[in-house]
Structure 1
Amino acid sequence: MIKHIRRFLAALVLLAPAAFANEGGIALDKAPVNLRDVEGLQRGAQTFANYCLSCHGAMNMRFNRLQALGLTEEQIKKNLMFTTDKVGDQMRIAMPAADAKAWFGATPPDLSVIARSRGADWLYTYLRTFYRDDTRPTGWNNLAFDKVGMPHVLWELQGIQEAEYKTVKNHETGKEEHHLEGLKLVKPGLLTSIAEDGKYDQREFDKRVGELVSYLVFVSEPGQVKREQIGYAVLLFLLFVLVPLTYLLKKEYWRDIH
């Protein structure tokens, strides 16, 4: 029995690198997640409500929990609630699941824990690497998620990117193949500008996407910031209160001996 278990574990060790290798994909960019930037999280929440909530819900999150980001109930109702009129409701979409599946080929996933399941770096890369592809039903494709069914909902902010290909000869077949090398912005958006060197500057758009990803990280675990604050307070208490008291108590106990 032990021998079979050892063989099974050895097989898992050998298969694990292959499983990760099969995922392939592009190198992921580091997401600038900052859960202490309250204003950035508020802008991320606004971007989510305006561009994502029409198709993607976040059922583990209620609108009134956004008060943890410094928003008042009136601000939440006025600027972020488009699918309900009750501030205590979950972040659900108005689109029926059947219609969403018919239009996009699959029901758009709930984004409550997407940052934990996919990772912040993957989300940050994914949201910035859409490009025009006329072979796709939506007219869009993505470097991080090939043949994605989701359209580029942030294209007005980013602009339009096109794929750049390199022709490479396959030595085995002798045929020429086109390999995607990268993306090129061909039409600017509301958050892109022309830099001094004549190239498009996407730093403002990247910042907005980073704030959106930060908000999705917050939604995945809303209590994380509060928990970290309590943890720091406990550590400070131990360092500046309990440790000195323990040292003084030790000196008192050992005073007669020393």
Structure 2
Amino acid sequence: MKKWLSTILVLGAALFEFGSIPAHAQEEAGLDRAPDASDNLASLQHGAQIFVNYCLNCHSANLMRYNRLTDIGISEKQIQENLLFTTDKVGNTMSIAMRPDDAKAWFGASPPDLSVEARARGKDWLYTYLRSFYRDPTRPTGWNNRVFENVSMPNVLWTLQGIRDAKFETDTDEKTGEKVRRFVGYTQVMPGAMSSVDYDSAVADLVSYFSWISEPAQQQRKRLGVWVLLFLAMLSFLAWRLNAAYWKQIK
């Protein structure tokens, strides 16, 4: 019976965590593990600030309203004074004025909406991507990215990270004999406003914010899930004892 109860708890925990697993596997080769700050209000607030200042010019988050930021400790007054543009209201969604056709003409592709990007791509992918830009004069924007090669997006955080060049070496594949370009590191060309450690921390805050807007109720869901599992465990125990008492009387 104990084994049966343990199985129920394990299955329940698996189902409980399933909702937070992104559409693709997290353990992709070459991706760095993103720090988890989804329950840190200060980190989420900093991530919201970075998002509005650097991302919301081109990327929308149409499934998120500004007033939901009160859930992470930002008052409506702070939203109005620090995060809203002139024509926006607290109840508005995080939309942008740029038309998709114009964006495609300027960048070659329309910037995606970021409402559920963390669930679609995964936090590790976003964390690595935002830290993998390098200068590339052959690209229209002057930038490239190791995670997303020939990406249309420029490095909008370059003032914080600085400008870097990527160093590559050409090796010969032993099996196929083909030439393979291998990344060996970055060279800092111009320093940014942040150190590398501070920049990584800022990106972690931004990625945590992306994860939060993809499901603002996720922390509440996880807390509620613990109580649900405890209730099911207690109910299973009572059902087991009731079943034993019932058959004992029949015998």
Name which of 199, 207, 213 aligns with 2:201.
Answer: 207
Percentage identity across paired residues of the two chains: 52
> What is the CA deviation profile of residues 202-228 of structure 1, one whole-angstrom value per residue up to 9, with x for unaligned ones?
111001000000000001111111111
Q: State the 1:57 CA deviation.
A: 0.2
Name which of 112, 135, 139 aligns with 1:136.
Answer: 139
Q: Does 1:123 align with 2:126?
A: yes
Name which of 95, 99, 102 aligns with 2:98.
Answer: 95
Paired residue type of 1:181: V
Q: Paired residue for 2:187?
A: 184
* CA 1:171–1:121: 2 relative to 1, 3 Å: closer
- The correspondence of residues 105-254 of structure 1 with structure 2, limited to 5 A, is 105-168=108-171, 179-192=182-195, 202-234=196-228
Q: TM-score, normalised by structure 1?
A: 0.75
**8 A Cα contact 1:155 1:189, kept in partner:** yes
Distance in 2, Cα, partners of 1:222 & 1:84: 25
5+ residue gaps, structure 2: 1-23
Q: In structure 1, the residue corresponding to 2:167 is in which secondary structure? A: strand
Distance in 1, Cα, partners of 2:137 & 2:65: 38
5+ residue gaps, structure 1: 1-19, 193-201
Relative contact order, higher structure (CA 8 A, sep 6+):
2
Paired residue type of 2:122: G
**8 A Cα contact 1:28 1:122, kept in partner:** yes
Distance in 1, Cα, partners of 2:177 & 2:119: 44
- The correspondence of residues 30-41 of structure 1 with structure 2, limited to 5 A, is 30-41=33-44
Greater Cα radius of gyration, structure 1 or 2: 1
Q: In structure 1, the residue corresponding to 2:185 is in which secondary structure? A: strand
Aligned length, in residue pairs:
218
- The correspondence of residues 68-107 of structure 1 with structure 2, limited to 5 A, is 68-82=71-85, 84-107=87-110
Q: Which moved more, 1:31-40 or 1:77-86?
A: 77-86
Q: State the 1:168 CA deviation.
A: 3.4
Q: In structure 2, the residue corresponding to 1:128 is in which secondary structure? A: coil
